Amino acid sequence: MNNSNNKKGSGPGKPSGDRKKTSSTPKPAMDKRSQNRKPVVKKDSPNIPKPIKSDEIRLNKYISNSGACSRRDADIYIQSGNVKVNGIPVTEMGYKVKPGDVVNFDGATLMPEKKEYFVLNKPKNFTTSNEEVEHRNVSELIKGASNSAMAPVGRMDKNTTGLLLFTNDTDIIRKFSLPNQKSAKIYQVTLDKNLKFEDLEKIAKGVTLEGHKLFVDEISYIENEPKNEIGIKLRTPNVKVVRAIFEHYKYTVIKVDRVAFAGLTKKNLPRGNWRALTEQEVINLKNL
C-alpha cells in the first residue's frame, strides 16, 4: 500500500502544487521522547491509591478464614449488616480488617484460624465422600493432626489410594477444585493384564471420553515391574478419569495409587500416615 495516500493534503480534489506551500514532513502530535515519557504524578495527589498493607485483609476473607462460611456467603452477611468491626456495623464491600480489629459475625466474635496443611497416604476402603455412610471417611485418619477442622482437597473414592492433601485453607481448597486447575497428578496403575505397546502409544496421544478429548502428559511402563504396572501423568482433577482411560481400551483396573499431586509426593510416608507440609511446600502450592 502506498504510504503517500495517508499524508494530509493528498486527498482527491487538491492540486499537487499545494503540497509545496505546506511545511516539510508533518511532525507527530507528540515528540517521540514525550511519547515514551511516563506521566509525573505528585506524591500528594489524592488520586493515587494507597498501597495495601500486607497485614490488612479483606473482611470477607477474614470471615472465611475463621471457618464461619465461604467468602461469597460472607458478602451476603456483610451487605445485610450482620457483621461488626470494633462494634460498628460494616456493609462496605472490600472493607479491610487491620491487626487488633475485633470482628463480630452474626453475634459471635471471630478468631481467624492458623492455616495448616497436611498430606495423607490414603489406604483403601476410605472415602472423601460424606454421603457414603457404608464406608469409613478419610477424616478419621487425620483426626489427630490438628485441632482445626481439616478438609480434603478434591475427591478420592474408596478404591483409590495414595496422596491426599488436607487443609483448613479455603482458598487452597477452592483453587484446586476448579475445573481449569491444571496442576499435575501422577498415578501408578495396576491392570489385570499387560498393557499393549500400541495401546500405550494411543493413550499417549490423548483419549476421547464421552465426546471430550483428554490429554495425557506422560505414560510409561514402571521400570523393573511387569507390563501391567503403568505410570501416568494427568492434569485433570477427576480421579475417576484414570480408570476410564484404561477401561476404554478393555483393561480392568485393579489398583490406582496417586504418588504425586501438585508437586507434593508421599515418599517415605507409610500407608495410613500423614505429615505436615514444609514451609517451602506451602509456598510452592500457593504459587501454582
Other CB atoms within a 10 A radius of the CB of residue 61 amount to: 16
Of 75, 101, 157, 217, the catalytic one is: 157
Question: What is the C-alpha radius of gyration for the chain, rounded to an integer number of angstroms?
Answer: 30
**DSSP assignment of 79-136, as one string?**
HTT-EEETTEE---TT-EE-TT--EEETTEE--PPPP-EEEEEE-TTEES-SS-TTSE
* C-alpha dihedral, 49 to 51 to 55 to 61, nearest 10°: 50
* SS (HEC) of 192-251: CCCCCHHHHHHHHCCEEECCEEECCCEEEECCCCCCCEEEEEECCCCCHHHHHHHHHCCC
Q: Which of 89, 83, 79, 81 is nearest to 105 (CA)?
A: 83
CB 255, CB 161: distance < 8 Å? yes
Known active-site residue 192 = no
Residues 244 and 215: their CA atoms lie apart, in Å, by 13
Euclidean distance between CA atoms 237 and 153, whole angstroms: 10
97 CB burial (10 A radius; 0-12, 13-18, 19+): buried
Residues noted as catalytic = 157
